[in-house]
């Protein structure tokens, strides 16, 4: 019986002594999200030469959504020039795809 209490106490001590699980930082998860949006934009760029006119508007919406989300994150981290650059680049991609959509008359 005493041995059980010692084991239980030791287990509680070990649990208390373990470092607390710290949630990932906002910038870490934001960096991951920005990377996902950048990958989506790269995928669109690779596919772009084969896109036909009727597909440009859906591609444009996808690119602009990725740009919007990227810039939302960049807005939360105004001190990070890398994110500001990614926002600007994503907005340029959005503008190019939007122009192609409008050229198609859709």
**Mean pLDDT across 11-17:** 42
Instruction: Name the band, by pLDDT with cuts 50, 70 and 90, for residue 65.
Output: very high
Extents of the domains making up the chain: 26-103
- pLDDT for res 46: 81
User: Are the C-beta atoms of residues 98 and 46 closer than 8 Å to each other?
Assistant: no
Could you read off the pLDDT of 16-58 as tens digits, one per residue? 444 433 344 444 588 899 999 988 888 888 877 666 788 888 8
Does 14 score more than 70 pLDDT? Answer: no
pLDDT tier, 87 (very low <50, low <70, confident <90, very high otherwise): very high
Mean pLDDT across the chain:
77
CA 88/CA 74 separation, integer angstroms = 10
Residues in the chain: 106
Which has the higher per-residue pLDDT, 10 or 42? 42
In angstroms, the CA 6 to CA 33 distance is 47
């Amino acid at each position: 019986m005493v041995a059980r209490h010692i084991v239980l106490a030791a287990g509680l001590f070990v649990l208390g002594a373990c470092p607390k699980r710290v949630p990932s930082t906002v910038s870490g998860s934001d960096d991951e999200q920005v990377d996902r949006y950048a990958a989506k934009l790269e995928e669109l760029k690779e596919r772009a030469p084969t896109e036909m006119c009727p597909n440009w508007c859906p591609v444009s919406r996808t690119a602009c959504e990725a740009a919007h989300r990227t810039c939302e994150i960049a807005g939360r981290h105004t001190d990070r020039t890398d994110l500001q650059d990614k926002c600007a680049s994503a907005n340029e991609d959005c503008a190019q795809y939007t122009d192609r959509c409008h050229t198609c008359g859709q």
